[in-house]
Structures are given as structure tokens and as C-alpha cells.
């Protein structure tokens, strides 16, 4: 015991620096001042836990509508049809979520200064190049929540004060790939309407 007492480190820091081989060479079978402690653990503590892979839902940014009616509006009326589509979406949002809760991505109002151009874009277009608008694309760059998608899915028609009425049929809703040419970044901009 006297022999072991001479090998006791001066302080805790020195005791922590001593490696196991050196302690054994000096006759210690465990570090000085060490004590055994019993721990209790649940029986299944070492059972492997398999993580469920998290499947990311695709970011829904774009909805494509087919415009149905006679006569279809001319491409020169694209701005008016875009505004009518916006009004129809806003009307559905008001009906479904309430007037005070209309998402700012649909209206474009009340968005942060740093995010002013991330609202919905309403893009009427002539997909078959016959001079008549036959599709309307709704594109939200940052994507839509499930509630916002539900609002878009409920939009069924456009109407104006002059008696014009067109049905909107939801063709697809999903990623920008639906109409990539109209929604992707570009260095050169070309209008598809006169």
C-alpha cells in the first residue's frame, strides 16, 4: 500500500492525464479514487431504433388551368384575364379562409419589403398559338401551403361585368415543370402577348 501511495497523482488534473498503461505498470488495477457505480437502464435501451425516412413533399408552386368558353378571349386581353383570375382566387380565399385571412401571396399586399416579388403571378397564355387564351398559369415562386392549394383547387370560373364567363378547369398542380418556359429564370425576356 505504501508503494502505491507514492504513485498517487498530486491533483485531479494530473490524475486525468495519466494513461492506463502507466497506472498498471505502477500496480494500480483501476485509477486512484475511482469507484464503481451501478446504472439502471431500460431493458430495450440498446434495441436499435430505425428512423422512418422523411419523404419531402414536392414544393407546389404552379397550377395550370384550361380556360373553357366561347369565345375564348384574344391574347390582347391577357392583362384583363390575369386580373380576373386573381379576383377569382381572392374570392375563393375569402370564402374559404375568411376576409381577414386572405394569403398575401395571392393578393400581393402586406408582404415584407425583402419579399415583394414572391407573390402569385397570374399568367394567361395561348398554348396552341391560335391567338386565343386557352390556359392560365398561377405561379407562386416560394410555393403554396396545403390550405392555399385548396383555395386554388376551388377556383372554377371567371366572369366579368360585361357578361363574359369562362370555366377554369384545373389541369395540373405541382412543380414549375408544368410550364417551365413561362416560370424559369432567364436573361432575356420575351412577351408572349402583344
Would 140 be classed as within a structural domain?
Answer: yes
- Residue 143: domain span: 62-183
Q: Answer whether residue 107 is part of any domain.
A: yes
pLDDT of residue 54: 67
Q: What total of structural domains would you count in the chain?
A: 1
pLDDT surpasses 90 at 166: yes
- Is 138 domain-assigned? yes
> How confident is the model at residue 15, as a pLDDT?
76
Whether 78 has a pLDDT exceeding 90, the answer reads yes
Q: Is residue 7 part of a domain?
A: no
% of the chain at pLDDT higher than 90: 40
Look at residues 90, 96, 118 and name the one whose alpha carbon lies nearest to residue 183: 118
| Residue 129 placed within a domain | yes
54 in a structural domain:
no
CATH of the domain at 130: 3.30.70
Residue 71 domain flag? yes
Return the pLDDT at 44. Answer: 83
Q: What is the pLDDT of residues 94-120, one digit of tens each?
A: 999 988 888 888 888 877 777 667 789
Question: Please, which pLDDT band fits residue 121 given cuts at 50, 70 and 90?
Answer: very high
> How many CB atoms neighbour CB 168 within 10 A?
23
Give residue for cell 402569385.
120
Kindly state whether residue 101 falls inside one of the protein's structural domains: yes
Amino acid at each position: 500500500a505504501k508503494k502505491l501511495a507514492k504513485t498517487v497523482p498530486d491533483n485531479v488534473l494530473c490524475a486525468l492525464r495519466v494513461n492506463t498503461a502507466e497506472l498498471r505498470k505502477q500496480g494500480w488495477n483501476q485509477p486512484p479514487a475511482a469507484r464503481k457505480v451501478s446504472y439502471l437502464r431500460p431493458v430495450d435501451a440498446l434495441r436499435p431504433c430505425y428512423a422512418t425516412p422523411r419523404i419531402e413533399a414536392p414544393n407546389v408552386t404552379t397550377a395550370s388551368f384550361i380556360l373553357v368558353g366561347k369565345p375564348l378571349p384574344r391574347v390582347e386581353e391577357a392583362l384583363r384575364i390575369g386580373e380576373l383570375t386573381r379576383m377569382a382566387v381572392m374570392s375563393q380565399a375569402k370564402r374559404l379562409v375568411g376576409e381577414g385571412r386572405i394569403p398575401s401571396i395571392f393578393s400581393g399586399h402586406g408582404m415584407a419589403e425583402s419579399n415583394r416579388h414572391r407573390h402569385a403571378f397570374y399568367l394567361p397564355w395561348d398554348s396552341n398559338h391560335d391567338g386565343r387564351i386557352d390556359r392560365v398559369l398561377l405561379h407562386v415562386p416560394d410555393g403554396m401551403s396545403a390550405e392555399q392549394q385548396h383555395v386554388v383547387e376551388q377556383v372554377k370560373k371567371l366572369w366579368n361585368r360585361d357578361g363574359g364567363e369562362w370555366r377554369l378547369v384545373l389541369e395540373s398542380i405541382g412543380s414549375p415543370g408544368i410550364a417551365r418556359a413561362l416560370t424559369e429564370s432567364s436573361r432575356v425576356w420575351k412577351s408572349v402577348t402583344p
